[in-house]
Structure 1
């Protein structure tokens, strides 16, 4: 048994995964790989945002195909056991499984990083094939070639996880990254000992003007290819099943709702348009009995700002629109792994889609869910380089306070102040831009409320509903926007469409919300360039207008 060749690590880790309470069986992926294994010399690269189950699937492949163990105890109860080829392929192959993010101690150079991988793999190969005369200080590709020349049956399945790890490391120079691509090409391309190369990571394979260093790989990205989509991320049906399991297993007061899972973790799309949930966040939420942000352990917004800092001006307006829940048009291209200097809006949004900070569907990008929206909200309120977006967001605490206190004078003052700064969005060419500005001036409300855009309510769709989340006895807010219409007309629509029904419980149930319901109408007159605001407490009929 070795560290990379014929290792039992994948078996152990995947078995542990299958024994967890919120395990999802995606073993049918194996059946799609059977023909590729039989054909030989097959190469696939599947890229997904982080925390989308790539490592779990890599461990599954190793556990199933590797000759180092007998894994029927795992797979006999999974879907793959019922499919053709199960017995033919299970535990029949020499598997080389390398996790490229496995770095021990301080790694200060690329040569130190790659030499450790080569030495450990060569050691495994010498132990497994002692009958082959091998020279000292050989390259791993030479060792593999010598073994194949002595034994033409010595063909390997390569499972390469986190292939792009090196592209995120400070110690790797641009020259080092090219060396690494050359290393992979030399190891895998046109080598008779490759039965299957299965590679995963976040970044699609780097593109060069003269072609690709690794052009033998068929690439499968979430936005670009439909195949394999169902095996990475959780579908609606799978989350339904997990939630039922949670309801049966949770021994404490259940704090997670099905709608909460959708709000927090849904929002990604396959190339065919099927919706996907972030799997790690769903599992963590159900395991912890808590709807929370499991995206990252780093700062609240520093990762997002990294992508936009080189060209804040070009993306600022679109960020404001996306923070309001809108989708914006974007050209998403194949993102080059070697390009870290993001300058154009196209490059910035493409990178953010690849890393999972934005979702891409039908030519538009958007913030996928509350988990990511919270990070965007933090950035908009804390990063001065965002200019007018930051200044409006900083006023949001005062705007919320004025609304709750029925102080429409202050509300109008804040909106007029914003408009007088000649902010591009405040040209109000359409209601979308007004919506984005209103979202910015109420950004602080997200600390206390679940804010929904265009939510189905009563017998229509309302612009904004603010659901009290921290204190259910707090005032709820229904907000309707109008251009070239009065705030009185906005209030009338709220009443006519019965939007307040959204706060009532289901038939026979008591509403979770016990505070007042405030109807807020905001109107903008294009001719006079003036805002008017009106607040009415629906239950008490209190009216104030500016």
Structure 2
């Protein structure tokens, strides 16, 4: 056993995860990988946003295939144990496990960084094959080739965070070239490679010139179907976790619907919804909803990605914060660009990093955890222009609505219209909805705001569910080229107020009072009109 060759670390790390109360068994993935052993197509690269379970799967692969430690105690209890070839491949391989996010103490340049790995692998090989008198002056790949020639021994490679190097401040452009050549020399065309599994955030094809690492089959979340179910949590998996939570938590404070609202919404290439795994586990473990994923890591600032093209992006932001989808063409390799300029580049990078999700040619904000980051940006970044200004006046709009001050409400909406923004063309109620969402942005601190919610006999534009006692619920209906009175009439005739009856048990000391808000806009006169009254 060594630092890289047959390290016991993957076993220990994975065993620890399996003993956690909210562990989800993804071991069925091993059954998909087994047929690739020793085959031509034995190189896999899985790219996902950070904290989406990549390292857990890498440790699982190392623990299952590696001979460092008998791992029957782990896998005999997991789904893979039912596979026909389970025992045949368990702990049968020499695994070289490399975590490229680890760096030497005081490392200031690429040579120190890569030398640690090369020297570490050499020391492990020398300890395992003392009879071969290996030469430290030889390249690692030459030493591995020599071992294979002498012993016919092959190695299984697990590489975690292959792209960590590209985020390190001391790395220069020429270092990136050297690094790719290192990976190519280590893995490509080598008979000693039994199998290679690599994880990261960034796609390798952008960095490869078409030949260096083209032996890898790449699988991202947005466009590749295979392996989609193994990263992130499905609805059924979260159902099971929530059941454990309610059984084992003395005073549960999280509802099942709240988990979906906060952490669901990512999409696989198959169109299936996925939950953010880190956030779900953290929320259930802490018995509290919070921004666990968005509050960690280097790339938690939405503004970082849009700063080079605010003018083109801000209209779309207004729509996306309103819950709308925006057309985009995925350019997954754009995530590695030094400067993100075009909208497609920006949105593609944000999908790769998990800040947006992608489905059927459109991007959108997946859940409340991320929506809060966008709201924060809209409230604080003056460079976003009219979107920022509308967000800033949103607290006044809520106060006016609760006071049934239709004059102030109309003035705020007219102010929004006078900004002459593209999304205020009002050719469709979608644009009006986007503006209303912006001028009510501050309401989300006190209400859970849902759009197009099934209510009574139809769908209502907005429902504001109060978070605290003493607050009144709000139902808001929008109409273009119709009066606010007609909007109020629709709320009453279709029984939208009944939606609150099903929520009484979920709302804290709900008072039962509901405000009906009608907003109309005339394309002919370019004027807004508002009406607010209590529902009986």
TM-score after normalising by structure 2? 0.96
Mean Cα deviation higher: 15-24 or 176-185: 176-185
Helix, strand or coil at the partner of 1:310: helix
Summarize the Cα distance change of 1:267–1:512 in structure 2 as closer, same or farther, 3 Å threshold. Answer: farther
Tell me the alpha carbon deviations over residues 469-494 of structure 1, each in whole angstroms, 9 at most, x when there is no partner.
Answer: 2x132111111111001111111111
CA–CA separation in structure 2 for the residues paired with 1:285 and 1:426: 38
CA-CA distance at 1:207 after TM superposition: 2.5
CA–CA separation in structure 1 for the residues paired with 2:440 and 2:504: 32
Summarize the Cα distance change of 1:299–1:104 in structure 2 as closer, same or farther, 3 Å threshold. Answer: closer
Task: Say yes or no: does 1:454 pair with 2:441.
Answer: no
What runs of 5+ residues in structure 1 fail to find an aligned partner? Answer: 540-546
- What corresponds to 1:155 in structure 2? 154
Q: 1:325 aligns with which of 318, 323, 326?
A: 323
CA–CA separation in structure 1 for the residues paired with 2:50 and 2:233: 14
Q: Any conservation in 2 of the 1:40–1:195 contact (CA below 8 Å)? A: no
CA–CA separation in structure 2 for the residues paired with 1:367 and 1:510: 25
Question: Equivalent residues in 2 for 1:247-396 (5 A)?
Answer: 247-251=246-250, 253-297=251-295, 303-336=301-334, 338-396=336-394
CA-CA distance at 1:393 after TM superposition: 0.6
Tell me the alpha carbon deviations over residues 130-155 of structure 1, each in whole angstroms, 9 at most, x when there is no partner.
Answer: 12222233322222122222221x21
Q: Any conservation in 2 of the 1:301–1:378 contact (CA below 8 Å)? A: no
Helix, strand or coil at the partner of 1:157: strand
- What corresponds to 1:473 in structure 2? 470
- What corresponds to 1:542 in structure 2? none
Helix, strand or coil at the partner of 1:499: coil
CA–CA separation in structure 1 for the residues paired with 2:391 and 2:504: 39
Mean Cα deviation higher: 121-130 or 328-337: 328-337
Q: Any conservation in 1 of the 2:517–2:533 contact (CA below 8 Å)? A: yes
Q: Any conservation in 1 of the 2:484–2:519 contact (CA below 8 Å)? A: yes
- What corresponds to 1:401 in structure 2? 399
- What corresponds to 1:129 in structure 2? 129
Q: 1:415 aligns with which of 413, 416, 419?
A: 413
CA-CA distance at 1:387 after TM superposition: 0.6
Summarize the Cα distance change of 1:409–1:453 in structure 2 as closer, same or farther, 3 Å threshold. Answer: same
Q: Any conservation in 2 of the 1:155–1:194 contact (CA below 8 Å)? A: yes
- What corresponds to 2:531 in structure 1? 534
- What corresponds to 1:166 in structure 2? 165
Tell me the alpha carbon deviations over residues 121-176 of structure 1, each in whole angstroms, 9 at most, x when there is no partner.
Answer: 11111111112222233322222122222221x21111101111112222222222
CA-CA distance at 1:401 after TM superposition: 1.1
Summarize the Cα distance change of 1:40–1:150 in structure 2 as closer, same or farther, 3 Å threshold. Answer: farther
What runs of 5+ residues in structure 2 fail to find an aligned partner? Answer: none
Q: Give the root-mean-square deviation of aligned CA atoms.
A: 1.9
Q: How many pairs were matched up?
A: 536
Question: Equivalent residues in 2 for 1:158-237 (5 A)?
Answer: 158-207=157-206, 210-237=209-236
CA-CA distance at 1:457 after TM superposition: 1.6
TM-score after normalising by structure 1? 0.95
Task: Say yes or no: does 1:141 pair with 2:138.
Answer: no
CA–CA separation in structure 2 for the residues paired with 1:529 and 1:212: 59
Q: Which contiguous aligned blocks of 4+ residues in structure 1 show a shift greater than 6 angstroms?
A: 506-511
Summarize the Cα distance change of 1:414–1:507 in structure 2 as closer, same or farther, 3 Å threshold. Answer: closer
Tell me the alpha carbon deviations over residues 314-365 of structure 1, each in whole angstroms, 9 at most, x when there is no partner.
Answer: 1111111000001111100232564231110010000000111101011111
CA–CA separation in structure 2 for the residues paired with 1:280 and 1:536: 43
Helix, strand or coil at the partner of 2:301: helix
Summarize the Cα distance change of 1:14–1:164 in structure 2 as closer, same or farther, 3 Å threshold. Answer: same
CA–CA separation in structure 1 for the residues paired with 2:206 and 2:505: 60
CA-CA distance at 1:515 after TM superposition: 5.3
